[in-house]
Structure 1
Amino acid sequence: EEILALCRANNEPPPLCLRVNRKYADREAVARMLEFHCRKVEPSPWLPEGLRVETTRDITRLPGYREGLFTVQDEGAMLVSYLVAPQPGERIVDACAAPGGKTTHLAELAKDEAEIIALDTHPSRLKLVEENAARLKLRSITTLLGDWTQLAHQFANSADKVLLDVPCSGTGTLRRKVDARWHKRPEDILSLAQLQLRLLEAAAIALRKGGVLVYATCSIEPEEDEQVIKAFLERTDEFVVDDPRPFLPADIPHAITPENFLRLFPHRHNTDGIFAVRLRKK
């Protein structure tokens, strides 16, 4: 029954969610502005900056978009940034940053007063991070081109927090990418899991003692999620799993596993399929 519900959800269009840039606007004001241009606008029940909207219009032509008052982001993706809990003055690395949705959210949550370094291996995708930051008028983000597994040593024991929104199979986003389900192979997941573990090990080098590492995927595959974290924790005794509840903005039903992992599903939460865990360096 659970599998059938997931399959049905993956055949439905996903909701359109907006993240209000609370540095420059409040949610209620943006909602009132959009009511004249959308069929439906309602607040997210979980996120103080979230709006759920229904519209046939081009989002980029809605009032407030070009002015940087909001951006498009799934609610599940927004919740990941809350696990990082960015604070003003912290040095935060978003190690797989493009296109910048979570990077810019981290900056907004830290009131644009943290040092946020956004890395990616592709120049064109890193440019998207810069463009998003510029549109949202966020000045605390700098970009760095390169492979995190090779650059992490530059940050050795200096980062307060690292976000690893790792490359993954994307099986939690099949309703957004309808044809992707026909191009997934089991061997791809195994090779991605190896890369994900290398990225985690690099993050361990960069973090200071007491620092926080948030690992996230938009996959629902245990091989990329629980099993990767288990393998990482078996290789090091430097990290413990934090309870995510104190860092989330609301109580989300059936979202936290007994192991203190955040698990979201399209059929349960009407979000992308999301896995995330908050690890703290001893």
Structure 2
Amino acid sequence: MRLHRNLVFAVIDGLHEIFNEAGYADKVVQKLLKRDKRWGSRDRSFVAETVYDIVRWKRLYAEIAEVKEPFSRENLWRLFAVWATLRGISLPDWKQIGPTPTRRIKGKFDELSKIRKYKESIPDWLDELGAKELGKAWDNEINALNRKAPVILRANTLKISRDKLRGALEDENIDTEFIKGYPYALQLTERKNVFTTEAFKKGLFEVQDASSQLVADFLNVEPGYRVVDTCAGAGGKTLHLAALMQNKGQIIAMDIYGNKLKELKRRARRAGAHNIEPRVIESTKDIKKLHGKADRVLIDAPCSGLGVLRRNPDAKWKLQPEFLDNIKQTQFNILENYSKMVKPGGKLVYATCSILPSENQDQVTAFLSKEAGKDFKLVKDKKILSHQSGFDGFYMALLEKKI
């Protein structure tokens, strides 16, 4: 592979913004890809994948390169040199790239690969927490979460069947395959930009991980129900619920962030979902108005996001122990308060994209033992680990309110 100066400089600029200016990797990469209109798909792919790779393996590469944060430009070039060397890429004779001790880099890599926190490139505290909560499964799970995530689509059954969507995408030179056990999912056989396709513009699909697609189904909705999606965000699961309900009934999509609900409105128009009513949560009154009135409630709770590290590798470095303590309290408060919207005989799903029992089944157990949960019973739950499924780590619990 021949390295091109403008592409590599873009990578270095992106890493500086992510590591030294607290930029979010997805936003930084999005901006970088608009940097030069002359770049082709291979150029953009190189920039995006190299940035994500170095972010993902930051601790390992920094240890090999013997550099520490905050990274100077010189140190960022040393990280890049380690990345290139380990991939067998010949480094050009540029002034920014100093002498690169190839044998020492490879030797150091072999040595550090025997220590999990370096091999999987994670902070000490996170490695200790994962081992404590998942035991022997942590080795396989963190390894799986460091792999590149596949691109999964969900067919929008308000407009098209999954089989017909596959054909429509083939007409646009995008090959997909079915995934056993996921009735609405198609997996791309080769990474491509699906957002420029006519199929996407017509609202025939959404990009949604296979594990995430299980959540709406878990809620067991029917056309005509009143459903409340309490932490709707930009509405990936809301849109799936609308399709399962065949646009019949009412979905109240709630969130504390109005800008996310605006994005949901835009997505709903494209998807042809007409039974969604976005509502910003401005106070507890907005929740009290719905007490005992919902057939189904979805709580897709805020969480650590450890189950989706494959697509958000910078979360490893932004996440802090105190955030986890705070988010667990938030999760319990949400479960305690939002569950009051379920009417007798109705059902609730508590879901997270976390793999930690303390954010998942432990929260459900604690809720059921308190006054707020005394009228509920656990119907079933599902724990999804990435190394077992091949998709994102997730948790979902179905609770029923007694009549």
Q: Which residue identity lines up with residue 390 of structure 2 in the other structure?
A: N
Report the equivalent of 1:268: 388
Residue 249 of structure 2: aligned partner:
114
Structure 2 gap segments, 5+ residues each: 1-135
Q: State the distance in 1 between where 2:177 and 2:342 align.
A: 39
Residue type matched to 1:130 in 2?
Answer: K
Q: Which residue identity lines up with residue 23 of structure 1 in the other structure? A: L
Q: Is the 8 A contact 1:73 1:101 kept in 2?
A: yes
Alignment of 1:48-127 (within 5 A): 48-127=183-262
- Structure 1: state its 5+ residue gaps: 244-260
Task: Return the match for 1:205 from 340, 346, 354.
Answer: 340
Tell which deviates more after alignment, 30-39 or 180-189.
30-39
**AA in 2 matched with 1:272:** D
Distance 2:249 2:283 in 1: 20
Who is 2:163 aligned against? Answer: 28
Deviations 1:18-61 (CA, angstroms, capped at 9, x unpaired):
01011211111111121244564111211221111134432111
Q: Residue 386 of structure 2 contacts residue 393 of structure 2 at CA under 8 Å; is this kept in 1? A: yes
Asked if 1:134 corresponds to 2:254, the answer is no
Q: Does the 8 Å contact 1:119/1:148 carry over to 2?
A: no
Q: Which residue of 2 aligns with 1:217?
A: 352
Q: 1:208, 1:228 → 2: CA distance?
A: 21
Q: Distance in 2 between matches of 1:96 and 1:120?
A: 5
Counterparts in 2 of 1:148 and 1:78: CA distance versus 1, 3 Å: farther
Residues 156, 162 of structure 1: alpha-carbon distance in 2 compared, 3 angstrom cutoff: same
Rounded to whole Å, the distance in 1 between the matches of 2:196 and 2:179 is: 22
1:154 partner amino acid: K
Tell whether the 8 Å contact from 1:161 to 1:207 is kept in structure 2 after alignment. yes
- Compare CA radii of gyration and give the structure with the larger one: 2
Counterparts of residues 131-210 of structure 1 (less than 5 Å): 131-147=266-282, 149-210=284-345
TM-score normalised to structure 1 length: 0.90
* Alpha-carbon distance in 1 for matches of 2:252, 2:315: 30
Q: Which amino acid aligns with 2:374?
A: D
Q: Percent identity of the aligned residues? A: 34
The CA deviation at 1:178 is: 1.0
On the 8 A contact 1:95/1:148 being kept in 2, the answer is no
Identify the structure with bigger relative contact order (alpha carbons < 8 Å, sequence gap 6+).
1
TM-aligned CA deviation for residue 147 of structure 1: 5.0
What's the offset of the Cα at 1:148?
7.4
For the pair 1:4 / 2:139, whether they are aligned, the reply is: yes
Two-structure CA RMSD over aligned residues (Å): 1.5
Structure (1 or 2) with the greater strand fraction: 1
Give the structure with the larger helix fraction: 2
Determine the C-alpha separation between the residues in 2 that align with 1:207 and 1:84. Answer: 12
TM-score norm. by structure 2 comes to: 0.64
Partners of 2:175 and 2:358 in 1: how far apart? Answer: 38
Q: Match for residue 239 of structure 1?
A: 376
Q: Structure 2 counterpart of 1:97, which letter? A: A
Q: Which of 47, 63, 87 is the matching residue for 2:182? A: 47
**How far is 1:17 from its partner?**
0.6
Q: Distance in 2 between matches of 1:21 and 1:39?
A: 17
Instruction: Give 1:227 deviation, angstroms.
Output: 1.5
**Deviation (angstroms), 1:206:** 1.0
2:296 is matched by which residue type in structure 1? K
The alpha carbon displacement at 1:131 in A equals 1.0
Contact 1:171 1:273 in 2 (8 A): yes
1:277 is matched with which residue? Answer: 397
Deviations 1:41-85 (A, max 9, x none): 111211221111134432111231010111110111110111111
Q: Which amino acid aligns with 1:143?
A: P
CA distance in 2, matches of 1:93, 1:148: 16
C-alpha contact 1:84 1:161 (8 A) present in aligned 2: yes
SS at match of 2:295: strand
Partner of 2:37: none
